[in-house]
Chains A and B, each alone.
Chain A
Amino acid sequence: MFARYRFTALLAARNREFLRDRTALLWNLIMPVIIVFGFAYAFTQEESKLFTVGVVASSLNGHADSPFAPLFTLRHLQWIAEEDGLLGQQRIERHQWDLLIDPERGAYWVNELSPRGYIVEQLLLASAPEVERHLLSGRPIRYVDWLIPGVLAMNMMFSSLFGVGYTIVRYRRNGVLKRLRATPLTAAEFLAAQVASRLWLIVVTTVAVYLGTHLFVGFPMFGSYLLLLVTLVLGALSMISLSLIVASRLANQEAANGILNLISWPMMLLSGVWFSLEGSPQWVVYLAQLLPLTHLIDAARSIMLEGAGLLQVGHHLGILLLMSALCLALGARLFRWE
């Protein structure tokens, strides 16, 4: 039987503990701001050596007889295939890509405000003069703008995995769980309080970091705040649930630490926190789809940078919800007090 008074008492106690653990709290709030700040200054000015050209097609092969064929022979260009022409145009508007070509229509798009776009256009015209030109314009999306959703999500990931998983394992090791078990408290009440406490604290700290970062660096937000909030909640829930599985049996803090690192590092590298997976090998892209952080970041970026609505990010949210349900069920099922 689930007693709400026991749940709320534990929830309140856990919240207090979190807020009193000053070091962890400061780390949660300050680290992402520092990272964003560092990157804002370190990378915004740096030009990439490659020019990026998007191709409106399902693949990069088979364009030998298109008017753009000579361009394909040039070196030092990064090619990205994108079937959605409108998305490609948005990349041009945001200065993420330098040129977009459509081999079928023999047309291309370039941002008139982008110096890099200008140079690639000259390369194109020199090699293939008879293609149809479209002009686009828009403020550039800086690397830091693109980075912010990733850093916010990464911060949430660490707080979810270590905040819940590590804490439960420590409780098990030092006997807090044993003491709690000797009371009428049930496992469901205990786990629900841990999840709920961490969930709302993550949402609150993430909102605080979002506002703080916005104040200092300033970044665009084209989408709905409500949708972004829902995305954050589902993302945090899925990763907290994942950590419940890790914490279900372990009593060794070192082992828990190792496993949590084993989960968090691939997520940090493969979920597109620091660099886009566009142009990565297909297996990496597939692997990334298994990670909740990928869906959180993809959805948050689409909402913030592209103004995506529920229709565009719905599948990400659905997957996050499914992952949360599966991990919660499994974590609760595997849970042992000792």
Chain B
Amino acid sequence: MEYSRGAGREDRGAGGLERSPLLEVRALQKHYPNIAAVRGIDLVIPEGICCGLLGPNGAGKTTTVEMLEGLTLPTSGEILYRGQPCGADFRQRAGIMFQSTALPDLLTVRETLELFGAFYRTTRPLAELVERCALEGFLEQETKKLSGGQRQRLLLAIALVNDPEVLFLDEPTTGLDPQARRNFWQLVHSIKAEGKTLLLTTHYMEEAAELCDEVVILDHGKVIAQGSPQGLLRNHFENTVLTLPAATVAEYHDPQLGGPEVLGIYREEREVEVITNDIGCTLKRLLALGVALDGVAVRPPNLEDLYLELTGHKLRP
């Protein structure tokens, strides 16, 4: 194992406006006996931002996050926290919310928070956590009786119990209904407002667009794009997306619909998406073919489209 926990760090001479990095990852690799899960990742996460890690299953998201959390030992590479190698003390400053976590079944919400609070040197007052994560209604309930949304809020409160500087959220809203997801996003916004640094993995592009100041797209264990959502869209993607009801173009083959300006056609069960860099030209062709334009929608590209373009596959098949 050639994992060095941080040789001396050269000064990067960050400009005055740039925020100093809280977490920094260099040439991070993780090889398992049969697979290279992470194949050389470099990341800089400035203090106070919400960084989103996106990628399909098997892209190396979870492995990367677990190495950052200190739960998995890298095969090689460096992880620096405030410029120093992550030591045992990092646990005291990090808050972690796993994708799925069972809690001791027979403890109440209050007892669970008190238990986790007891593990840390500094803790946030219980009342503050309860208010921050909206736990008032079920503080005395046993954890096994909580609903999905209540449970996620408790897990978030546990992650915040030590008033962490950096918060890891691993697919925090997977499995929640849209209402519960929106409520959860509100909580994350309020945590961001406190100036905490967040690292979020998610399957939902909408979630990344809503919460993240910066996104990192992983595929096959490597970073394939990195930047602010708007910046990425601007740089990678100056196209428009045309959506048609599948039935209206069912009889036409892709070569009939496409032209030099069409970058991709994606057929799904109910809709067909045509990505074009000249919307007028594409619409004219469709009219000439006799396609009814009743159900046509034109929208600006979003992260989902960007992801599709970069990786060649949909994030949520």
Chain B residues 92 to 120 lying within 8 A of chain A, measured CB to CB, are: 92, 94, 96, 98, 100-107, 111, 114-116, 118-120
Judged by a CB distance under 8 angstroms, whether B313 is at the interface is no
18 intermolecular pairs with C-beta atoms under 8 Å apart? A9-B118, A13-B107, A13-B111, A17-B105, A171-B102, A175-B101, A175-B102, A176-B101, A176-B103, A178-B71, A179-B96, A179-B98, A179-B102, A182-B71, A182-B91, A184-B91, A184-B121, A185-B119
Instruction: Flag if B101 contacts A16 (CB, 8 Å).
Output: no
Instruction: Flag if A17 contacts B71 (CB, 8 Å).
Output: no
Instruction: Flag if B104 contacts A6 (CB, 8 Å).
Output: no
Q: Other than the known A9-B119, A176-B104, A179-B101, what 19 A-B pairs have Cβ atoms closer than 8 Å?
A: A6-B118, A6-B119, A13-B104, A13-B107, A13-B111, A16-B107, A17-B104, A17-B107, A21-B106, A175-B98, A175-B102, A176-B103, A178-B98, A179-B96, A179-B102, A182-B94, A184-B88, A184-B119, A185-B119
Judged by a CB distance under 8 angstroms, whether A75 is at the interface is no
Instruction: Flag if B91 contacts A183 (CB, 8 Å).
Output: yes
The contact of A16 among B69, B94, B111, by CB within 8 Å, is B111
How far does the Cβ of A325 sit from chain B's closest Cβ, in whole Å?
Answer: 28
Chain B's interface size range is 20 to 34
Judged by a CB distance under 8 angstroms, whether A20 is at the interface is yes
Instruction: Flag if B120 contacts A16 (CB, 8 Å).
Output: no
Q: How far is the CA of A182 from the CA of B96 in the complex (A)?
A: 7
Nearest 6 CB-CB pairings of A with B: A9-B118, A174-B102, A20-B106, A183-B119, A182-B96, A17-B106
Chain A's interface size range is 20 to 34
Q: How far is the CA of A206 from the CA of B213 in the complex (A)?
A: 59
B118 CB contacts on chain A under 8 angstroms: 5-6, 8-10
How far does the Cβ of A176 sit from chain B's closest Cβ, in whole Å?
Answer: 5
A63 CB contacts on chain B under 8 angstroms: none
How far does the Cβ of B88 sit from chain A's closest Cβ, in whole Å?
Answer: 8
Binding site for B on A (CB under 8 A): 5-6, 8-10, 13, 16-17, 20-21, 171, 174-176, 178-179, 181-185
A9-B114, A9-B115, A16-B111 known; A184+B92 contact, CB < 8 A: yes
Instruction: Flag if B120 contacts A183 (CB, 8 Å).
Output: yes
How far does the Cβ of A192 sit from chain B's closest Cβ, in whole Å?
Answer: 14
A6 CB contacts on chain B under 8 angstroms: 118-119
Query: Who on chain B is nearest to A19 by CB?
Result: B106
B69 CB contacts on chain A under 8 angstroms: 182
Q: How far is the CA of A20 from the CA of B107 in the complex (A)?
A: 9
Per DSSP, chain B at the interface is loop
Query: Who on chain B is nearest to A338 by CB?
Result: B71
Query: Who on chain B is nearest to A178 by CB?
Result: B98
A176 CB contacts on chain B under 8 angstroms: 101-104
Binding site for A on B (CB under 8 A): 69, 71, 88, 91-92, 94, 96, 98, 100-107, 111, 114-116, 118-121, 142, 158
A9 CB contacts on chain B under 8 angstroms: 114-115, 118-119
A183-B91, A184-B92 known; A13+B105 contact, CB < 8 A: no
How far does the Cβ of A83 sit from chain B's closest Cβ, in whole Å?
Answer: 53
Interface centre among B94, B104, B105 (most CB of A within 10 A): B104
A184 CB contacts on chain B under 8 angstroms: 88, 91-92, 119-121
Q: How far is the CA of A183 from the CA of B94 in the complex (A)?
A: 9
How far does the Cβ of A181 sit from chain B's closest Cβ, in whole Å?
Answer: 7
B114 CB contacts on chain A under 8 angstroms: 9
Q: How far is the CA of A319 from the CA of B218 in the complex (A)?
A: 57
Q: How far is the CA of A324 from the CA of B118 in the complex (A)?
A: 29
How far does the Cβ of A40 sit from chain B's closest Cβ, in whole Å?
Answer: 34
A174-B102, A176-B102, A183-B91 known; A10+B115 contact, CB < 8 A: yes
Q: How far is the CA of A185 from the CA of B61 in the complex (A)?
A: 25
A184-B92, A184-B119 known; A179+B71 contact, CB < 8 A: no
A21 CB contacts on chain B under 8 angstroms: 106
A183 CB contacts on chain B under 8 angstroms: 91, 116, 119-120
How far does the Cβ of B100 sit from chain A's closest Cβ, in whole Å?
Answer: 6
Q: How far is the CA of A11 from the CA of B104 in the complex (A)?
A: 13
Query: Who on chain A is nearest to B155 by CB?
Result: A179
B94 CB contacts on chain A under 8 angstroms: 182
Query: Who on chain A is nearest to B119 by CB?
Result: A183
How far does the Cβ of A188 sit from chain B's closest Cβ, in whole Å?
Answer: 14
Query: Who on chain A is nearest to B168 by CB?
Result: A182
How far does the Cβ of B175 sit from chain A's closest Cβ, in whole Å?
Answer: 15
A17-B106, A184-B91 known; A178+B120 contact, CB < 8 A: no
Q: How far is the CA of A13 from the CA of B143 in the complex (A)?
A: 13
A175 CB contacts on chain B under 8 angstroms: 98, 100-102
B91 CB contacts on chain A under 8 angstroms: 182-184
A20 CB contacts on chain B under 8 angstroms: 106, 142
Q: How far is the CA of A13 from the CA of B115 in the complex (A)?
A: 7
B142 CB contacts on chain A under 8 angstroms: 20
Query: Who on chain A is nearest to B118 by CB?
Result: A9
Q: How far is the CA of A176 from the CA of B100 in the complex (A)?
A: 10
Query: Who on chain B is nearest to A10 by CB?
Result: B115
Query: Who on chain B is nearest to A8 by CB?
Result: B118
Q: How far is the CA of A264 from the CA of B96 in the complex (A)?
A: 39
Q: How far is the CA of A182 from the CA of B170 in the complex (A)?
A: 13
Q: How far is the CA of A182 from the CA of B102 in the complex (A)?
A: 14
How far does the Cβ of A330 sit from chain B's closest Cβ, in whole Å?
Answer: 24
A17 CB contacts on chain B under 8 angstroms: 104-107
Query: Who on chain A is nearest to B121 by CB?
Result: A184
Q: How far is the CA of A20 from the CA of B141 in the complex (A)?
A: 13
How far does the Cβ of B67 sit from chain A's closest Cβ, in whole Å?
Answer: 13
